[in-house]
Each structure stands twice: as C-alpha cells, then as structure tokens.
Chains A and B, each alone.
Chain A
C-alpha cells in the first residue's frame, strides 16, 4: 500500500495549520465529543438539511454524516488553489464560448472534433447564441484531491449545477455554534459571503432586454429533488424567489412569474433543473419541470439561464483530459493545477494498458457522476474486476481510467477516537462580470477506513473546511 499524505501529521510532527487542533482533540473527553456530535446532528435535523439519493429509495430525510474535525489549509496553500481554480473556470468558459461559436480550438486540432460534436452534452440549440458577458458556466465546481504537501490534482470539473455549497455554509455555521472557542484561537477566513457573491454574479449577467435591477429566481425541480434543501436555502440567503416550472410562463418577449399581484417579469434564472427538462417546447416534450418557450426567450435575449444549457460539454470526463490544453490555447498560460493522468479507453493502445492494469486503476464512466458506475481497482475483488472488464470491453469509448491516487487523509472522529480518513475538496467558483471564489469549499470524507469513495451516496461524509488568514 502506498503511504498516504496525512494533512495533520507529517512524520510525527503536527503540520502548522493544524497546530491548535491537537490540543483541542486531546483535551476533549469522549463523552463531550459524543454530546457535541449529537448536538450537531440535532441541529442539522432541525434546520432540515437532509440528503436523499436519486434512485436509492430509503429515507428521504437521511442526514449526510458530519464530521466535526475540520480540514485546514494555510493561506499560501489556498492562494495557489485560488489562482488555479479561477484559471480553470476562465478556460472552461472560453472553451464553451468557442465551441458554440467558431470552434477555433477544434479547427486548430487541439481537441478531437468527435469529442465535442458527438458529445451528448453539446447542445445545438445554443449554437450561435452569445449569452450575456459570454459566460456559460456561472458556477463552476472543481473537485480537487491532494497527494502531498505541494501536490494538488483536479479530479473533475462541474460546469452545470454543482451541488453541495449549502453544506459548506451550514458546516461552518454548526462549527461556530459548537466550538466558538476554536474560531477565537484560529483566524479563519469567512465563507458566509457566498450567497451575496452568487447574487452579485447572477445580477451581472442580466440579459440585454432587462432594464433596471434584474429579478433573479432559482428554478428547482421541487421538494422531491435530493438537493431541494440547498435550493431553498440559497434562495433564502440570496433573498430571491424559489420557483418551480409551474410558477413561470412565457408571454411576449419575457418570462413571467405567477404572483399574488399578477405576472412579474423574471430576468435571470439560476436553474437547478437539467437541460433536458427546462423547456418542453425545445427539449423533452413530456417534462413537467420546465417552462414552455423558455429557450426561445433565452435565445432572443429576454432572460439569462445560469448555467447555460449545453454547458455540460465542458465537464465530461473525456473532455476533461483537454482542459490543460484549453488553458494554454485560450489563456496562453500553463495550468496551475494539474490534471490526474488519464487513459482514454476509446483509444486502442490505452485500452490495452488499462485492461492489463485494472487492479491498480480507477475506471470511470465518461458521463457518470456521483461515484456510480466506477471501479476502484485496489478496493475491488477479482470477481468485481472481471465483471467490470466485460462492461469496459463492450463499450470502451464510454470509460476513462486513472491511477489510484493516494489521496491525502485528514484526522476524522471515529468510534474510538480520531483516525485518518481520505478527503477531497470541492470549491465553488463564481463567474460573471468578475470571477469570485470564497476561501473554502466542501470537504468530503470517506468515512469507511481505507475507502477512497467520498460521495455522500456511498458512505461519504462532510467536514468544515478552513482557510487560515495570514
């Protein structure tokens, strides 16, 4: 087994950002810890922040496990990530603006044409349409893993509607309530500016036909959606309406909300509904979640949809391989954050390598998400690997493979004390008139010993993420 980088203990020494947390855990008796843990759970339950997994059934009011041990970055570590994330968000948006316009990057041969044009997520309905400020993905979630003191890798990009930011905000709230002392002893950058920054970002991309203060709404599929809590939470903190498709309608050149005073014009829609469902007139005709005629209003400059339909063409795992190339092509810069080396199973020689090394690799579906449809070689039985091999061979173009990274660990409360568990990080970058990033993100932790899968749907939990002020 590889040696995993422990973010707190480095060869018996406590790394500086965690300096004050050693005493904190040592001085906390088990009873107090259990008491605090119960208190945290009660708080989560009371505010109603629960999590349901698509298709899994079970308790829709299940709590996502919260681990009280924070994850900490120094200011210097964060500065580098901040620059790298913003660089990436800029390049991804430049790519989207390009492929829906002249597609120079394809013409230049820097990305294979079929990866773009035959991609399910390429949306012809937005080709030739330039959204306000040329921004397609307004909220970019970038999943980052760490393997050493200086080694950060981008695992994947999320350009559509990355979820989880409410956990970033709530985890902080709960930690401040449970352990106010920690926040006096450590100088921690606040994250609570996120909702206002999001509102500012959305307002900055109001459509041409909007005069005056733009009316912003969040469009949700409804209370049965697993992220409904987040939708309503953000709407509340941003001071905007949370609407469902049935609350909106198209008339004339605009979209309107049904209100108790009559129709009210809507200018910017932060939608948490998938592309295929946002307009039954343009996409799936049977969709009950969307607004008929929305796409025509969007394409004629009457409303802004964030993120733009079709933004997903920038974030699938086959296109991911070319993000460093996008950074060089559009920005003329070298990538600050590295990609994980990736084999494209659609290529014959790379597939051969992957098949020969399955027990060491992580194999993922190109369009999959949420940790489904993936193989973690080292954690799988021979039988699981054999079954996965069949799927892989029958449709190689649908898979990519990566080395099993030795993800860093962070101390985590477990049954009998504190033990290292693997973590990743998802910061949320906002792109509008400016690019903004609050110092922090959502740290996901694989609660099972040795597990590398951090997805909440598969036994993952969350932590508060600290960026220390200078």
Chain B
C-alpha cells in the first residue's frame, strides 16, 4: 500500500523567544514493513543540527533557530510503500536490549487497577504472544476512544480510571499492563492512513505500543483500534513513553506562552 503524509506543526509564542531547539524523530523507521519512496522534513526557520541513529534504531535530527522568533513550523511530506507484517517489526536494527524496556516512567507507572487488569487478562494464558493479545484487548475494552477528555500529561492509571481517552492513553495503559506482567513494552509514534474522514482520519498522527514477544521480537499492538499495525501504518520511532518517543521535542528560550497548531492528512492508497 502507498501511504502519503502531509503533516504541519506550528508553534506560536505570544512574545518573541530568544531561540528554539528541537529534536525530530520524523523519519520512517527502517524495517521490512515499509520502504520510503519520498520523504521531506522542512522547518520554517533556523538551521539543522547534528543527526544520528539512536540506540532504538531511530533517526534523530536536531534543529535550532535563534530569535527573536514568534513562530516556527515543521512540515513533513512523503510517501511510503508499506506491507502488512501482522505487527511484527522484522528487519529492524537496534542496540537497546528488550529487557531495558521493563522500567517504569511517570506516565506508564501501573497502579493497582492496571496491575489487576493485566493479571486478570492473562489468567491461564500461555505464551507471550497470546498474553500480549489479551492485554491489548483488555485495554481496548477498558478505555473507550473519546477525544478531548484526556490531555498530554494524563497517565495510564488516570486514563484507566476515567475509562476513556485517545491513542496515547491506550498505548500508555497497554505498556503499563505489559510491563507489570514482565513483558518489555514501549511506545511507538507514527501515522495511520485512511481513505476517508472517519475516526481513523482523526488519529492520522498516531501512537501505539510494541510488546516484546520471545521468538518474534517486537510486535506492535494498537489498543485504540484493537488490532496489530498493518499496511495502513507508518512507524516513525519509539521510546519509553509518549514524551521519549515524541516525533518533535522542543524547548524555547524565553518567557512566552506556547500554542500549538497541527494539521495532518495521511492517505492510504491501494497500489494499482
């Protein structure tokens, strides 16, 4: 499938700032499930900094601009040829061992409810893969998709007690549940293509979880959609939680309020 991406993010400052530093994880991952046909990242101001492939196998490009600056826009356009690997991250090279992904972070720290949700989901289930599927289903069931009720800093435990959230909350909750069962898990950010304007279009800038399955390696699980990533998905990069996997991390120097404006369109087109 060919998936096309048009993604623009604008940061606006109510007072000019002295400078902006950003770290971009905006390049599709290299693995058997996707081939980049064209990809371009443009920033409205400043200069690109160093770039490197990190221990998780992601391409990181830094960027900086000096002020005075009132806004900065990051635009991503590209086309990727994708294949359905049933969520398996085949052919991906990375240095960090799976076991390192058992550590908690603030948004993925499990509370009692998350731990017991996980425990009950896997009762009597053998094998990492089946356990991971059960966990994914349990999280999908426990947290309904509803935009606007959670925010960027909502934790997995909070989203579970609320019973609703968006893809970020599903991913956090699934990660917390998996780790509580000693299954290494991590956060993946990327894009989800659609052919219309339905729910999937609203989640075009998407996130899901990967769980380490012995024998298979990393396998993606999208609790928000109750499935494993297929050819509609473009994988960018991963991290311990939404912050560490964020496609754009940035800090502005100066005392200004920041506001964010995002427009994203991801189209999945069946190949002729």
Contact = CB atoms under 8 A, between A and B. Distances in A.
Verify whether A and B have any Cβ pair under 8 Å. Answer: yes
Contacts of B54: 125, 127-129, 299
A118 B102 contact: yes
Nearest to A283: B244
Contacts of A281: 21, 23, 249-251
B50 interface: yes
Interface stretch (B91-99, B158-166, B214-222): B91-99
Contacts of B51: 300
A301 B19 contact: no
A281 B250 CA distance: 7
A63 interface: no
Interface in A102-128: 103, 106, 113-114, 117-118, 120, 122, 124-128
A297 B103 CA distance: 26
Interface in A301-342: 301-302
Interface in B68-119: 94-97, 99-100, 102-103
A125 B48 CA distance: 20
Interface stretch (A249-257, A374-382, A433-441): A249-257
B47 interface: yes
B36 interface: no
Contact of A280 (B19, B52, B62, B251): B251
B64 A126 contact: no
Size range of the chain A interface in the assembly: 20 to 34
Contacts of B96: 124, 127-128
Given A129-B55, A280-B251, A251 B66 contact: yes
Given A118-B103, A124-B100, A299-B52, A292 B62 contact: no
A124 B50 CA distance: 19
Interface string B230-272: 0000000000100100000111010000000000000000000
A282 interface: yes
A293 B19 CA distance: 12
A189 interface: no
Contacts of B21: 249-251, 281, 292-293
Given A251-B19, A253-B49, A293 B99 contact: no
Contacts of B243: 285
A300 B99 contact: no
Nearest to A101: B95
A296 interface: yes
A118 B49 CA distance: 32
Interface in A259-285: 280-282, 285
B53 interface: yes
B109 to A, nearest CB: 14
B55 A124 contact: yes
Contact of A296 (B49, B97, B99): B49
B56 interface: yes
B253 A126 contact: no
Nearest to A120: B103
Contacts of B100: 117-118, 122, 124
Contacts of B250: 281
B60 interface: yes
Contact of B62 (A113, A117, A285, A297): A297
Nearest to B94: A128
A305 to B, nearest CB: 14
B38 to A, nearest CB: 24
B61 to A, nearest CB: 9
A293 B95 contact: no
A300 B52 contact: yes
A126 B56 CA distance: 10
A195 to B, nearest CB: 31
A293 B251 contact: yes
A127 B96 CA distance: 6
B19 A249 contact: yes
Given A292-B21, A293-B64, A300 B95 contact: no
Nearest to B21: A293
Given A117-B99, A124-B100, A292 B253 contact: yes
Interface string A20-47: 0000000000000000000000000000
Contacts of B99: 113-114, 117-118
A292 B50 contact: no
A249 B56 CA distance: 26
A250 B55 contact: no
A109 B47 CA distance: 46
A125 B52 CA distance: 12
A310 B95 CA distance: 15
A470 to B, nearest CB: 48
B47 to A, nearest CB: 5
A142 B55 CA distance: 30
Contacts of B56: 124, 127
A297 B95 contact: no
Contacts of B60: 296, 299
Given A117-B100, A129-B55, A296 B50 contact: yes
Nearest to A302: B50
A77 to B, nearest CB: 42
Contacts of A249: 19, 21, 253
A125 B55 contact: yes
Nearest to A292: B251
Contacts of A299: 50, 52, 54, 60
A4 to B, nearest CB: 43
B47 A252 contact: yes
A113 B99 CA distance: 8
B64 A250 contact: yes
Contacts of A126: 55
A83 to B, nearest CB: 33
Nearest to B48: A252
Interface of B: 19, 21-23, 47-56, 60, 62, 64, 66, 94-97, 99-100, 102-103, 240, 243, 249-251, 253
Given A118-B103, A285-B243, A296-B60, 19 more contacts: A106-B97, A114-B99, A117-B97, A118-B102, A122-B100, A124-B55, A124-B96, A127-B54, A128-B54, A249-B19, A250-B21, A250-B49, A252-B48, A252-B64, A253-B50, A293-B22, A293-B62, A293-B64, A293-B251
16 contacts: A103-B97, A113-B97, A117-B99, A124-B96, A126-B55, A127-B55, A127-B56, A128-B94, A249-B21, A250-B21, A250-B49, A251-B47, A253-B49, A282-B249, A293-B49, A300-B52
